[in-house]
Structure formats: C-alpha cells, structure tokens
Structure 1
C-alpha cells in the first residue's frame, strides 16, 4: 500500500471542512490548522494562506478565516492575501459569548479580527 506524503492543512481546505462541521468541531479544526501552520517553515507558510477559501455557509466563519489569514501573515512580517480584504461583518461576532469572554475579546482581540467585527481573545489563537 502506497502512503500519501503529509500535507499541512491549508486555509482553503480548512474552509471546506468548516462547511460541514458543528461549532465545537470547527474550533478543533482551527486548532489543527494553527498547529500545522506553526510547524511549517516560515517560507512555506504563505502557501497555506494564499488560496481563497470557498464560502462555508456561515459568513461569520468566512470573515474569521480572512482575519486569521491577515493575523498570521502579519506575524510573519508578510502582507495578507488579496482575497482577505474583501471580507468583514456588519454586526459584531463574539465566538465565545460569555460575559467574561466578551470583555476579554473586546479589549484584546487582534487588530485583524477587530477591524472585521470578529472579537476573539488572543488566547484562543495560541496554538500557533
């Protein structure tokens, strides 16, 4: 039996997986993507962000992926992929919607998320 070489999870593939997952599974998939991203060599990371994810069926998650792409690219001193600029929400979204989580996210959300209306605390992105 021939084995396939390991392929890290790209943001485009993550978007496809999010389309069929419930919220708890979505966060596990995001964590898996962040772990893959963290272990990739810096020069290869941009390829994981380059392809635009297809719509997931939930605009909030589509915007989250754009914010994540910009956030990770900026951490690597790179520009965000062009496709990411086109996505933002008209109403704020707090993925972790408890009073304490809302306050933490409102105060500390990374800029790429805040400017798109997605409020997530940096600790939620710490896998990478």
Structure 2
C-alpha cells in the first residue's frame, strides 16, 4: 500500500480541491486516485501525472519515508535517535530504540517500505552500537528472506559487550547470557538473548 499522492499533497499543504484544479478534474476524481493508490489498483501513468502536477516524481517520492508516514522507525531514524540518547548517556533508551526498530522493520510490508527501512544510516559513532543495530537488522532481514544490505556487514567487536549494562557483571551472569545469546550477535561479541530483542 502506498500513499504518495496524499502524502505529497499534505506535505505541500494542498487540499483535494487544489490538486483537482491543477489536474483539471473533480475533487471526487482526486479522492478516487488516492483510494486506488492505497488499494494498489492505480495506473502508473495516473500516479505519475498526479505527482508531476505537484512538482514531484515517482522516484523522489519513493525515496521519501513511507515508514515515517506510518510513524515507524527506519534504520536511519533509529541510528540518529540512538546517537542522541547515547550523547545523553542513556544506554537503556538507546537499546529500547534498537529493539523497537526491529519491531518496526517487521511491520514493513511493501517493497518501498522495506527499501526505506534498509537505507544506509549515518554511523552512531560507537562501534558497539553500530554493530548491534546492523547485525540485528541483518539477522531479521535473513529470516524474512531479504538480502541484508552491505552496510549491515560489521566486523566482530574486539571485546565482548553486554549492552546497557553498567559496571562489570559477574562472570557467572555473563556465562548465563552467553549460553542463551543470539548466535549472530554472539559471533560479533554482543551478549544479548532473543527474548531481549523483543518489544515488551
């Protein structure tokens, strides 16, 4: 499901009537266009014509954030939010954002949404967190039969790391986490379990 016409119109502050005037059609015809786009029955020529009337084209609209229109995180927005939280020394929230982004990735259904989610994020600025986000997303992509993008390939950390855990946990606790750790992340030196990657 896409909503390029409606999203572009709203972003430009245009009403259905404004767009109808530009295209020389009725407001009802614009409503029908937007409905048929949502239902994935719109003709490509109609979609392109409507976007062109608003000074946009399909290629630029496909790069806009269909996930953002649904208030869902992408790898880019997750990385940016994590960077902000880490700058404020809030590792717990950074971890929650990483986990929430995986949940939002699972909600990406259309090709445009999946592509939007997987576009290359800016580095977070901490190899551990960059590797956590990239590896967790790659793991979920593989599980969905999606080829992980190149940016998700990260080298293993030089030291084992238990995210959002201050101090030095007891070795016995670390052994317990290691035994249940998610294999793909454990290979990168990140001690985190499958259940820790699920939204509570």
TM-score by length of 1: 0.79
Aligned Cα root-mean-square deviation (Å): 2.7
| Distance of 1:121 and 1:18 partners within structure 2 | 20
**Residues matched between the structures, number:** 127
Structure with the bigger RCO (C-alpha within 8 Å, sep 6+) is: 1
| Distance of 2:199 and 2:161 partners within structure 1 | 21
Partner of 2:183: 111
Structure 2 residue corresponding to 1:19, chosen from 71, 83, 93 = 83
CA contact (8 A) 2:105 2:114 kept: no
Structure 1 runs of 4+ aligned residues shifted over 3 Å read 2-5, 42-46, 96-101
Gaps of 5+ in 1: none
Please identify the structure whose Cα radius of gyration is greater: 2
Structure number with higher helix proportion: 2
Deviation of 1:88 after TM superposition, in Å, equals 2.8
2:192 paired with 1:120: yes
TM-score by length of 2: 0.54
C-alpha change, 1:88 and 1:42, in structure 2 (3 Å) is farther
CA contact (8 A) 2:181 2:193 kept: yes
User: 1:30-41, aligned counterparts within 5 Å?
Assistant: 30-41=98-109
Gaps of 5+ in 2: 1-9, 12-67
